[in-house]
A and B are shown apart, each in its own frame.
Chain A
């Protein structure tokens, strides 16, 4: 014998979990083996083996059994059994209850995921709290403009004079560009090639797969690809060190591959090129003097800064104003201030001009949160109403249980178990539905959500909601019933108390608001789709690489096109309906404080003919006269109004402005006034604009007006042939103007789709609840109906009697819905400059629709009860 003993705590643990009847024998066996091993191995090793052996016994056969004979567990099994029987006995009721709540819950889950995605934007950058974006605000006497971009030299000033800033990183991207990237015979126009610099990787966390983050953009002719872009050009080959060609001109060395930008990043690109490359290209590699790093007149870059931790942002912003004073505010233009915004605020709280991409919308997030809460509320109300109605039907059963000695806790336990069963089924079904609906949801929200195990918070939240619902819907009826004396219970209690009535009214008020919402959004969208914009956008083809045509090439192209009878018109210059640029103009002779922010559009010969815009006053610019091109401009009616002139007054008036990149202001004379047209989004009123002809046509868009007659495919093939003749090195790519204009309203279309689906869902859930509820009340009233019929009641009078109870509630709910719907829809419509007026018919229609739905839900049951033979219901009395 020796004196080694196994660890005591392990034996205690073993005793804790092991069946009593097995513990003595098994632990004896283990001890025998332990003592036997003690002589031939170290104590630690022996203990280790012992612990391992005990752990192998941690499995069900050796676990302690619960006290199987305790009263509680017997009752619990009984409750479970009765609960499952109940579900089977009333399949319609059970499935309405389970599915109704499941569908509602799944919708809420999807919305919750969407909201989480929106709130998670840019949170993946580890230094996100210290990253800011520098922006500007321009206050002029008649307008305020906020822009997300600042001039390029901001970087050098920030780095030199502001110790608060650790690193400055800039991005540059121009959406109108059609950058062509090629490798071998692969040639694609890339949507999102951004220009940037090495500091980007010190500020942001973009993950490198290959290459060195601190030097990847040092070389002027280099490019960093994202994973998917690399795959597109190189397949499985290693892209590092390969040479790609940019715009057929510059050969770029691939110096890095990064992971794709996460979908919850506000800035998103497919490849990064050095800003220095753009600078050199514009300098003609030393031929010209224009240097973007010295240009304070052009706000072209998104400027981000990594600040020292705990920088006082307000004080820092104050200090920044000296930059604005020194560089931005000139004699001609005052009112610039530089602002900073936190990276984490950009996606939801920023809506400046020239954002990198469409930002989220905090209002939309709130709206969805509200919709989610409403749906959840409706679904819960349904569940509570149906469970209560069901409980009332079982008074006899409960009474017998009480007679047999069931107390209040026991009854509560029973109802709780039953509602827990229903809710658990619902949760499982909800998870399934959410999984199934996910692709559709992503489709119309334009989101990329997925449902997996990583959303533990969602599982937890669903469980909490489910638990509270089950608790409430289980405890409420059981407490109410238990309070009654036995003899009272033999009589049915009023099935629809005030509480249930309030719930039904609330439910349908919400539904009505949603129906009103559908009407208003659809009406507004219809307006956006069909509003006469004031210019012709049909059959209009816009070439993507048109700006690369040299004057000679354009002439070749034009000659070829003119020979095509299907092409009615060809225009080189501003394309109606596309992005607007603004500039500050002064009325000549009105003093230096005079400043107007007007749109400026560089139009080509025949702009008004091309887009069918009327000239209401004066003449157009004579394309033959160089002097006329240099001095004359057209304005639109809104511009005349903004400048304080009538149409006829404005002819001959002079304006001065500072063109981008120029150092001296230019003076121009108004020769004609154009009718207003909505070139920009219908969110805004018509932008007061100046139309000018460029002195050379270089760098402007080419658009073609096609004849509505003729074979479209053939026409496009012929245009492509003409294009290939003129400029074969650029691919022939185009957009249709009406489509690109429609894309502006994608967000509204999506919102409409979302509201529509969710409203239909809410109404379906509410109606199914009403269906279930009416089924129960009618069953309860079978005898009453029988007696009434015997005494001579007509079918119609019974039908009215049965359905009027619910219809009254619906009408009542409508009284709440009208003001709420009115308030919400007028609020939403305010964001549009062109909006529908709220037609009272909308409210009438939504009322009619919801009444129809309700009638359908309860009518069939009522009718069935009304025409039933009283013999059936009274036979057993």
Chain B
């Protein structure tokens, strides 16, 4: 009440005092929410603790670590760490998915019933996502165990196997976000507004 008159304020205060006297023993007025939005709870995370869990990488490359890996170094890591589940060439061994394959090519209608495998080559829109996912979740039996260099190498090998980068490419925090993925253009935002029309 920014423009309340002095008289109105007086009345309000009198009412407040009266009400207060009447309900002194059964005050049901809740305490106001604290001015401090933290309620005095929580503490600043230790920088090292935050760094240990802040592992996401976005499409701009933000979050990528120092390090690098080549297609050839990645081939060694892939063979040792990944091939037993995903196959020597990334072809997939059920239930582990195929990672490699441009066929059917980008633009193929995945809504048809042929069950075409969705691979890094035909269905992943960002190369940074491959790094993020491999680093956080792979290998399945020992997630988070690959070094930054090993992860860059595996990603380089997978991108090369999918025909996206050449065999001499080296992936690092600069080159990886610059990779253009074939599937980048197939994704469209949700256009289901609700309402009678089914979309």
* A associates with B: no
Which residues of B are interface residues toward A (Cβ below 8 A)? none
